[in-house]
Structure 1
Amino acid sequence: MTDATPFAAQLALADAVREIERHVATGGWDGPARVFALVRTARALAAEPGLAEQLPPEVVERAGQDPLHLTSVEQEGLPAAQDLEELLGAITWPPTVDGTAVTVERVVLPPAAEEGMPTDPDEALAYLMNHPDRQDVRIAVGVLRDGSTWCAVRTRAHDTDDAVGEGPDVVPGLVEALRSTLD
């Protein structure tokens, strides 16, 4: 493994997370959490040659040029769960899956606004939903078995592809929760 390999893997993951976030964004806001398996496209094509007919030609071409290119596979029929933490706790991935990604929407407030939040869950929800400084965000996070991570965050107030914040550890708690599904 060369020094460039971890960086190249992170670049492939960043591309996959961006693609997932943009795909989910086409459905608008107020959607459910969505979970994706991430697989190396070239390896998937080698194992299942018929897959080439199901993928866009540009994806097949890119996989031929970049062995680290990732294809995301949205998971359907997920186990019922009360919240995202419970859902992720119920998921484990087979070794053929190179990584995983999730998208979820949340309401965030500046730290100062959180100081006045009620402790009662119903009152806290009302407080969040009615606070003038609230921001609705969509978070997309991906992790690979090699440890690479990438996050993308879009706000409803600035809902354009060029206004998505990105980085490897923007949402560390969610990164760790996803990482645990690969153990």
Structure 2
Amino acid sequence: MTENTKTPMLRSLEKSTLEIERHVATGGWDAPMRLFALAHAQRALAEHPELADELPADVQADAITDPTTLFSIEQEGLPEVQTIEELVTRIVWPDNVDGAALSVERIVLPPGAETKLPEDPEEAEAALENHPDRQDVRIVTSVLRTGESWCAIRMKNFDDPAKVLSGENLVPGLVEGLRIGFADGAWQAD
């Protein structure tokens, strides 16, 4: 997809996803899952004018004039879970949340390497940790209620904001997992 074919909302989601990735990167590697709510800035400022005092002047002006600008709000106090599936099935988003973003770290192996892993989960985890071809990656996946998605992937071996892979549906499983929460009837709003 070229820059010219992206809708304004998709460009805004891309910008927000990359901002979240840079924010998460400031905390270093070996981080837990982090979840963010996404909200349209104009509506958020209209509902909570006090937010304007917390924003830099350039963001404030952008939020007022561009209806696609998104605010990301990190969700603290997440439930203790072992998997992404457990997390997304336990989160309830109110109607004024327009989307969500999830940051996770994973180990990636070259094609075929996973077939040589032990069947025992503990042994497989140890083998992953010590595999010579492993790549540690941070993935930030964002979705909106309206269906748009964007992903950002940073490899630990190339830990540079200029080398973040970015695209609309790079991690389909995570995109679909986050979308479940915004499907009609999936979660009840507060």
So what's the TM-score if we normalise by structure 2?
0.91
- 1:33 maps to what in 2? 33
What is the CA–CA distance in structure 2 between the aligned matches of 1:170 and 1:117, rounded to whole Å? Answer: 25
- 1:140 maps to what in 2? 140
SS at match of 1:128: helix
Superposed CA deviations along residues 22-80 of structure 1, whole A, max 9, x for unmatched, are 00001110011000000001111111111100122221111122111000000011122
CA RMSD of aligned residues (A): 1.5
- 1:113 maps to what in 2? 113
Contact 1:42 1:63 in 2 (8 A): yes
What is the CA–CA distance in structure 2 between the aligned matches of 1:83 and 1:39, rounded to whole Å? Answer: 25
Q: Kindly provide the amino acid, as one letter, of the partner of residue 42 in structure 1.
A: Q
- 2:154 maps to what in 1? 154
SS at match of 1:64: helix
Q: Kindly provide the amino acid, as one letter, of the partner of residue 30 in structure 1.
A: D
- 1:52 maps to what in 2? 52
What is the CA–CA distance in structure 2 between the aligned matches of 1:92 and 1:148, rounded to whole Å? Answer: 20
- 1:17 maps to what in 2? 17
What is the CA–CA distance in structure 2 between the aligned matches of 1:92 and 1:177, rounded to whole Å? Answer: 14
Q: Kindly provide the amino acid, as one letter, of the partner of residue 157 in structure 1.
A: N
Q: What percentage of residue pairs aligned between the two structures are identical?
A: 53
- For residues 123-138 of structure 1, the aligned pairs below 5 Å read 123-138=123-138
Provide the aligned length of Structure 1 versus Structure 2: 180
What is the CA–CA distance in structure 2 between the aligned matches of 1:113 and 1:81, rounded to whole Å? Answer: 27
What is the CA–CA distance in structure 2 between the aligned matches of 1:82 and 1:156, rounded to whole Å? Answer: 22
What is the CA–CA distance in structure 2 between the aligned matches of 1:159 and 1:13, rounded to whole Å? Answer: 22
2:78 matches 1:78 = yes
Q: Kindly provide the amino acid, as one letter, of the partner of residue 147 in structure 1.
A: G
Q: Kindly provide the amino acid, as one letter, of the partner of residue 38 in structure 1.
A: L
What is the CA–CA distance in structure 1 between the aligned matches of 2:181 and 2:78, rounded to whole Å? Answer: 14
What is the CA–CA distance in structure 1 between the aligned matches of 2:21 and 2:181, rounded to whole Å? Answer: 20
Superposed CA deviations along residues 67-117 of structure 1, whole A, max 9, x for unmatched, are 110000000111221222101111121110000001000001011211211
Segment drifting more, 60-69 vs 26-35 = 60-69
Q: Kindly provide the amino acid, as one letter, of the partner of residue 132 in structure 2.
A: P
Q: Kindly provide the amino acid, as one letter, of the partner of residue 70 in structure 2.
A: L
Segment drifting more, 25-34 vs 51-60 = 51-60
SS at match of 1:115: helix
Structure 1 unaligned regions, length at least 5: none
Structure 2 unaligned regions, length at least 5: 184-190
- 2:42 maps to what in 1? 42
Contact 1:117 1:127 in 2 (8 A): yes
